[in-house]
A and B are shown apart, each in its own frame.
Chain A
């Protein structure tokens, strides 16, 4: 009796092993003709029409499908020609003329790209009926005129120097040009299913929540991409995504998770790329809530944070401490003399609290996203604040709820992250009175730089604008409407077969058309 059972057990084990071995051999689908690059994303996004989405996943995919008038170099952030080969700006800074590339064909046989498409895209974003996310950005353009099919003239409402970044392929995604002919024929639903661009890749299939497959555009105007097919696969969990790179199931993953990234720094076959990005994380403090109306309390909080410890633990060294005046190196007009990195000084924090006359302990809470590393940073900040007698409990919320809570002013303070443009205009706009909720998300309800902001926007002289930007940084550093606690690096893991990959750390998509795969 026992023998038979034993035998059965042995067979079970053997059979299981056989299945496992067979299955692992069959694990990877047989290589189809051509090369495929697999890129892990946390979702398949919400829309592939630039006007209707703000997610990073959509941006990554759309960057491969669409082109913009100008492109930013992924490495140097220098502005290069795109759909436009040259541009000039009038001295008054209000009229910008672009010479368009000839012979560029729309995907799907929708004819040649001309100025009519450029005018259509901007009008589309401006039209209130369309509810474009980029309406405010687009409204800076009064009109786009087409003297001939290959010339586009932008007439701005104000002489805005940062305008050039609005026609580049980064967020705000007003830059990506849509096809008028395709839109007229397909309508919104059709365009959503088959987004038409002029870029190196075109959409082949989209399975929501699972996978987006792009194939090479045979009519692409630029250099022919080396990789035939791009597979964007959904992997929500960072640990799993990193493992997938290690096993070769995925070639590239953008990993906003320093703890997972450190685990792979010495793993053979995995390359860790960390690039200083233009994205900052800060604690916004509602100045209408006592005792945070007292500037000394806010300053004390700024000194109470152990920035180096924060960067070394929470970011595992993938970043630097934040800046007092919020604008950061790499952005136009950054000035170190008035806007140095924040420093940790508990004695000074205590002194400022004493001067403020606010009785200790201060009790309350602040909100944060419930993802890493935000939630980790929040815990670290809470412990630092507690050490000087400011007892603020972090309250982690899911993304949508946090936005809601912020708009409704239901939180005295909140941890928030932002991706920035090389021109600081859009970022500092968030700290003006015009952006106080419900109009915008100036949760601090700060109004100290309103005048300076308008001045820099209307200033046509480079040096003069730099001077105003300097004043803005000085004022922000003194008034402390928010505390910028760190500036993260963007982290990417790739398999070692990936070459010529230069991640684009501005809020745009990586130029995957340049990537080559070693066999």
Chain B
């Protein structure tokens, strides 16, 4: 087990180097020019050349790349073109909001998806099961921004229950909670539906297994069978997909943060892409991808820890 963990952790280093390199290359080959964006309608060739020089964009790509690698290794993501602040500073100040959103969405998805899946499996074949199946299929099939907009219009526009925009402030923890509910639900919707289905399917197949039949034959109560024997085994595939689901959450955050005008890494990324703020785009993508990599690692390890059948060299 330990060598496996060490190897997985060490593998992260080349992985993140690959991410950094990929992002750098893609970004620097983009058409469009940050100098022109910043200067807006008053751009002239002379002013742009001055800006490009100031940012070092007139240097050869390789020089820029080596310089960038050295800085990233030292924790310096460079200075944002648009704000003049260190890119790392913006990331650090916005990261808590994205973490709050992502964690809330995961909690909602798992906290509601798994019980619903259990309920559906237990009532296999009844109208409740069919309804949950249909509802989850519909949710999976709806674009997340549409879910977000509908929630926004119903719960803050029509009913006025929850705030429409922003993320609140950490000075008032209540405001953080109230601001995260709608976006977290919008972000969790598809994953929730998906987890419901997975839980239902795996639980159903586990319930058909021999050891469950044995337990039943032994006269154990139905509740004990479902929650002690079956669910534990059914959780394995659920756990194994949570790593991938983390990717959906990270990616979905980009869209959902834009819908709810939430400060966060995702909305920062979208703004930086349209603003051609190379430095900030690089920083955002690296942070998002790195967090995805780490979340994957963590779920894989949980999986390894939980499943006795899996052996690692």
Q: Which of B41, B166, B178 contacts A54 (CB 8 A)?
A: B41
Q: In the bound complex, how far is the Cα of B152 from the Cα of A27, in angstroms?
A: 15
Chain A count of residues within 8 A CB distance of the other chain = 58
Q: Is the CB of A398 within 8 A of B274?
A: yes
Q: Which of B2-10, B60-68, B79-87, B290-298 lies at the interface?
A: B79-87
Q: Which of B149, B181, B259, B263 contacts A209 (CB 8 A)?
A: B263
Say if the beta carbon of A207 comes within 8 Å of chain B.
yes
Given contacts A209-B90, A241-B165, contact A235 B45 (CB under 8 A): no
Q: Which of A70-78, A144-152, A399-407 lies at the interface?
A: A399-407
Residue of B nearest to A267 (CB): B157
Residue of B nearest to A28 (CB): B175
Say if the beta carbon of A234 comes within 8 Å of chain B.
yes
Please give the distance in Å from B272's CB to the nearest CB on chain A.
Answer: 9
Q: In the bound complex, how far is the Cα of B30 from the Cα of A400, in angstroms?
A: 13
Say if the beta carbon of A162 comes within 8 Å of chain B.
no
Given contacts A19-B181, A236-B267, contact A400 B33 (CB under 8 A): yes
Contacts of A131 in B (CB 8 A): 47, 50
Residue of B nearest to A47 (CB): B84
Q: Which of B12-20, B221-229, B241-249, B305-313 lies at the interface?
A: B221-229
Q: In the bound complex, how far is the Cα of B90 from the Cα of A28, in angstroms?
A: 25
Please give the distance in Å from B149's CB to the nearest CB on chain A.
Answer: 8
The contact string, 1 if C-beta is below 8 Å from chain B, for chain A 10-35, is: 00100000011011111111100000
Residue of B nearest to A235 (CB): B261
Q: Which of A24, A47, A246, A250 contacts B162 (CB 8 A)?
A: A24
Interface positions, chain B 99-142, Cβ under 8 Å from A, are 111-112, 115-116, 118-119, 122-123
The contact string, 1 if C-beta is below 8 Å from chain B, for chain A 126-153, is: 0000010100000000000000000000
Please give the distance in Å from B5's CB to the nearest CB on chain A.
Answer: 35
Q: Is the CB of B174 within 8 A of A209?
A: no
Q: In the bound complex, how far is the Cα of B43 from the Cα of A234, in angstroms?
A: 25
Given contacts A24-B178, A403-B41, A407-B45, contact A1 B162 (CB under 8 A): no
Given contacts A1-B221, A208-B83, contact A399 B37 (CB under 8 A): yes
Please give the distance in Å from B33's CB to the nearest CB on chain A.
Answer: 5
Given contacts A23-B181, A29-B169, A29-B175, contact A243 B33 (CB under 8 A): no
Q: In the bound complex, how far is the Cα of B116 from the Cα of A502, in angstroms?
A: 54
Q: Is the CB of B263 within 8 A of A210?
A: yes
Q: Is the CB of B31 within 8 A of A401?
A: yes
Q: Is the CB of A9 within 8 A of B115?
A: yes
Please give the distance in Å from B216's CB to the nearest CB on chain A.
Answer: 12
Interface positions, chain B 39-95, Cβ under 8 Å from A, are 39-45, 47, 50, 80, 82-85, 90, 93-94
Q: In the bound complex, how far is the Cα of B222 from the Cα of A246, in angstroms?
A: 52
Q: Is the CB of A235 within 8 A of B36?
A: no
Say if the beta carbon of A451 comes within 8 Å of chain B.
no
Contacts of B143 in A (CB 8 A): none
Say if the beta carbon of A463 comes within 8 Å of chain B.
no
Say if the beta carbon of A518 comes within 8 Å of chain B.
no
Q: In the bound complex, how far is the Cα of B260 from the Cα of A234, in angstroms?
A: 11
Q: In the bound complex, how far is the Cα of B173 from the Cα of A19, in angstroms?
A: 13
The contact string, 1 if C-beta is below 8 Å from chain A, for chain B 254-298, is: 000011110100011001001110000000000000000000000
Q: Is the CB of B178 within 8 A of A403?
A: no
Q: Is the CB of B259 within 8 A of A240?
A: yes
Contacts of B276 in A (CB 8 A): 400
Q: Is the CB of A236 within 8 A of B261?
A: yes
Q: Is the CB of A243 within 8 A of B111?
A: no
Q: In the bound complex, how far is the Cα of B82 from the Cα of A250, in angstroms?
A: 25
Please give the distance in Å from A162's CB to the nearest CB on chain B.
Answer: 19
Q: In the bound complex, how far is the Cα of B177 from the Cα of A39, in angstroms?
A: 23
Q: Which of B39, B84, B179, B222 contacts A403 (CB 8 A)?
A: B39
Q: Is the CB of B37 within 8 A of A400?
A: yes
Q: In the bound complex, how far is the Cα of B173 from the Cα of A25, in angstroms?
A: 12
Contacts of A241 in B (CB 8 A): 165, 261
Q: Which of A44, A234, A246 contacts B261 (CB 8 A)?
A: A234
Please give the distance in Å from B43's CB to the nearest CB on chain A.
Answer: 5
Q: Is the CB of A54 within 8 A of B42?
A: yes
Q: Which of A351-359, A381-389, A438-446 lies at the interface?
A: A438-446
Residue of B nearest to A136 (CB): B42
Please give the distance in Å from A317's CB to the nearest CB on chain B.
Answer: 23
Residue of B nearest to A440 (CB): B44
Q: Is the CB of A439 within 8 A of B93?
A: no
Say if the beta carbon of B11 comes within 8 Å of chain A.
no
> Which of B33, B39, B174 has the most chain A CB atoms closer than 10 A to its own CB?
B174
Q: In the bound complex, how far is the Cα of B166 from the Cα of A133, in angstroms?
A: 33
Q: In the bound complex, how far is the Cα of B166 from the Cα of A208, in angstroms?
A: 14
Contacts of B36 in A (CB 8 A): 400-401, 403-404, 407
Q: In the bound complex, how far is the Cα of B223 from the Cα of A6, in angstroms?
A: 12
Q: Is the CB of B44 within 8 A of A400?
A: no
Q: In the bound complex, how far is the Cα of B221 from the Cα of A31, in angstroms?
A: 55
Say if the beta carbon of B172 comes within 8 Å of chain A.
yes
Please give the distance in Å from B173's CB to the nearest CB on chain A.
Answer: 8
Say if the beta carbon of A4 comes within 8 Å of chain B.
yes
Q: Which of B33, B44, B80, B115 contacts A5 (CB 8 A)?
A: B115
Say if the beta carbon of A247 comes within 8 Å of chain B.
yes
Q: What 7 additional pairs, Cβ within 8 angstroms, besides A12-B112, A26-B174, A237-B259?
A: A8-B115, A29-B169, A235-B261, A247-B160, A403-B40, A404-B36, A418-B41
Task: Pull 11 A–B residue pairs with CB atoms less than 8 Å apart, ordered by A.
Answer: A9-B119, A28-B163, A28-B175, A29-B169, A208-B80, A236-B267, A237-B258, A243-B152, A243-B165, A246-B164, A401-B31
A binding-site residues for B, Cβ under 8 Å: 1-2, 4-6, 8-9, 12, 19-20, 22-30, 43-44, 46-47, 54-55, 131, 133, 192, 207-210, 233-237, 239-241, 243-244, 246-247, 249-250, 398-401, 403-404, 407, 418, 438-441
